[in-house]
A and B are shown apart, each in its own frame.
Chain A
Amino acid sequence: MTASSFGSSGDGFGDAPRACSAGSGAFADYEVEARFYDELFRPDGTVREACRRLVASLSSATPEELSTLQEGVARRFIHEGITFTVLGATKMSEHIIPIDCVPRVLTAAEWDHIDRGLRQRLTAMNLFLRDIYNEGRSLRDGIVPADLVLGCPQYRVEMRGVKVPHDVYVAVCGTDIVRTNEGFAVLEDNLRVPSGVSYMLACRAAIKRAFPRLYRAQGVREISRYPESLYATLASLGPWGGDPRVAVLTPGHYNSAYYEHAFLAGEMGAELVEGRDLVVHDAVVYVRTASGLKRIDVIYRRVDDDFLDPVVFREDSLLGVPGLFNAYRTGNVVIANAPGTGVADDKALYSYVPRIIRYFLDEDPILANVETHLCRESDGLAYTLANLENLVVKEVGGSGGYGMLVGPHSTASEREAYADRLRADPTNFISQPVLDLSRAGCFVDGRLEPRHVDVRPFVLRGRDDIRIAPGGLCRVALRKGGLVVNSSQGGGCKDLWILRDQHPRDAPEM
């Protein structure tokens, strides 16, 4: 089979899969370890049912063909400038996000479980946010310690009593989910400005082109209409009929996720604005166009709370719009996600999410949490200090993989320095066990090898419904044995295929 035929007319695609296993053919160097759930193979090395076609097609390719495929996928990212920006010590640098050509596959049943869990979780979190900014029932009833919420830097007193359109505080959510041998678990919720959906869509576009016949034969659920769903979700939050004018508010092209902001604005047909493009006059928000000021109805903000409005939040903010929060309070503009949602994705509050679900929905959580030790509690701090070499320690407000300690990969002096930080400010940290993250097949250094992965699905909450793109940003730790999947820390991405239950095109897709 030639490189050009691979992926387009290869003999394995769409035909009966051949018997394959780990340790043979293209998978000769692929090691399955029972400790880690392998997404392609069972512990005995036989192929998982949902992955048979994928493994068969990869097995029939030579390393050269796979290299050509991988290069083609990566080249597409380079030419299209699918980038993220990394803030270095002295300057910003623009990087192409590494993409792996081998998709990860989940069955319809596995996805159904995740889908139901995400809907439940986001419903509960919106109720919780409404509660803590109004009656505070859950705090009075001791479901969550009041000081944890009210003392959180992300709790915005300015939001107390503000009427949030349709009580949708979090309209866009990205939840990080991992899999171990015990099943799926939520690693963290991103309820402020979750990013990565553009890479999910870009991955899909590249991989679909690389494996056209296999993609069709597998019956993969579509995600390409996500921008329409996002627009519909945002539009539904406005009090106006018709098509409101939507803007994506970006900090600017030096922001690490600028590509995504531009991508989403373009795909939605929305304005991509910076703070300097907006003007508030009589509590109405306008955008400066070439033909005068035009009213803006909905702002999908990708700017942190702190920088939204220098009149209300950080007065030194150059990214925000003076008077924006007043326009929001007055009901003249919708801001999604609402200011103050960060309190609910604080890593310390994370451990209370199962209780929040039970309290507000009277249901058991569908998706499990990862065991978490709060260093703000004396037991949690003592346990963390005593087991630093076996734990992952994170700052409660941290993100992007920055500022965390991965115990087993740390040196004694690093642990010592981290312990000092823990003792000095224990409320700022949590710890979790090092998880045996599942591994998926990746094409690395000319051969197929397993690497640790997680997935970030994207959930949209509109006025009347919740929509979830059947897929997600599958992040992969490309360094052998590495556990950190963040792109800023050497991670890459791969496509996630959610298979249809039985018949293709049996349901409308996002």
Chain B
Amino acid sequence: MLARAAADFYWMGRYLERTEQTARLLEYQLERLVDTPAEEVALGWRVLYSTFGHPAPPLPTDADEAEVFLIADAYTLAGTFVEDDTNSNSMISCWSQARENAKQLRPWLPVRVWTCLNQGFMWIRDCDFSRAWSEGPAALALEAIDRLRLLAGVVDAMMARDDAWRFLELGRFVERLQHQTVLLDTWARLGQPAQGARLSWSDLLRVSRAYELYRRRRSILVRRESALAFLVRNPEVPRSLRFAVHRIERLLSGIDPKGARYPLAAPHRMAIRLAATVEMDLGGDDSDPEGEDGSFPDLLRDARKLHDLVMATYVNYPVERGLPA
């Protein structure tokens, strides 16, 4: 696998995952516009903006201002994450970046994968946001998610399980690990009762597509520590940190398994360390009501380091190190 192509697959995976994350958070937030108190809606925007590293919009100071804020600004706040191509985390930007990566990968990409991705891009590019807004904005986010799920299905059905697929998946799960870590951290910080308006822990599970499983496995009554532990350590939840880090570890073990870097390349070692952190140290548990969610920034630092190691090991390595023996 060409090193540059490996990087493009990796980034394509990251951008597609980021598009879905944006769409999921938007869907959650836009659904809430219908019946949620204005102060909580405002807090929801803070979560969305903070998760993607943007300056959070200010909270309204009283109830009247909150209503104005709700009506007047929601369109603009949502638009920033749908159609604003200057925002690198908007759906249009992420989809466009994924398509640019895919353009460079056409020799390696099954035609149907490209067609599906391209059609998705053309849909979001040609989308009339103001019209979608008047017809029900959450539907737009839902359709984006459906299109991304379709693409994921086509990838799953069409791509061989070779290094191209591994780097694509690696990008997806590194992005997921980083994003979910930030989301949990943001929710844990902004969800403190001292903040006034409260964030719902069941909503965190819903955004993470884990609510139904939690209800079955644990309880319909959602406790903060239990929800965090569930989203950190449960191996069955695709958006848990543990799920992501295990997939990363498995994918890395498949890349160049018996090459020069055998037995363990640096990214692989880091992935194992992350797995140990997630399984043993992080997120508290049901018996520890205080939790250990102060560890999220450390985990995020290591997840970012994992990204750097992937690039340094497989893409930007020094020529002398790459020469055949």
Contacts and interface: CB of A to CB of B under 8 A. Distances in A.
A274 to B, nearest CB: 7
Nearest to A262: B106
A292 B322 contact: yes
Contact of B322 (A79, A262, A272, A293): A293
Contacts of B314: 290-291
B2 A273 contact: yes
A5 B163 CA distance: 43
Contacts of A287: 2
Nearest to B105: A262
B2 A281 contact: no
B107 interface: yes
A288 B114 contact: no
Contacts of B315: 290
A81 B323 contact: no
Nearest to B166: A290
A288 B321 CA distance: 11
B108 A266 contact: yes
A140 interface: no
B167 interface: yes
Nearest to A76: B115
B4 A288 contact: yes
Interface residues of B, number: 34
B324 interface: yes
Contact of B3 (A266, A272, A290): A290
B323 A290 contact: no
B315 to A, nearest CB: 7
Interface in B236-271: 255-256, 259-261
A270 B5 CA distance: 13
Contacts of B104: 253, 262, 272
Contacts of B3: 277, 288-290
B132 interface: no
A292 B2 contact: no
A277 B106 contact: no
A313 interface: no
B68 interface: no
A265 interface: yes
A425 interface: no
Contacts, number: 89
Contact of A80 (B100, B118, B163, B255): B118
A281 B323 contact: yes
A296 to B, nearest CB: 11
A291 B4 contact: no
B319 A293 contact: yes
A281 B319 contact: yes
B221 to A, nearest CB: 48
B118 A288 contact: no
Nearest to A83: B103
Contacts of B6: 289-290
B118 A81 contact: yes
A359 B256 CA distance: 56
Contact of A279 (B4, B106, B319): B319
Nearest to A291: B256
A429 to B, nearest CB: 38
Interface string A252-283: 01000011001101100011111011010100
Contacts of A286: 322-323
Contacts of A259: 106
A466 B138 CA distance: 60
Nearest to A94: B103
A295 interface: yes
For the complex of A and B, the 6 pairs showing the least CB-CB separation, nearest first, are A266-B107, A262-B106, A265-B107, A290-B6, A293-B322, A288-B3
8 contacts: A80-B118, A273-B2, A281-B319, A289-B6, A290-B255, A292-B259, A293-B324, A294-B324
Given A253-B103, A290-B167, 18 more contacts: A79-B119, A80-B114, A80-B115, A81-B115, A81-B118, A262-B104, A263-B106, A270-B107, A272-B104, A274-B4, A289-B3, A289-B6, A290-B315, A291-B1, A291-B255, A292-B259, A292-B323, A293-B322
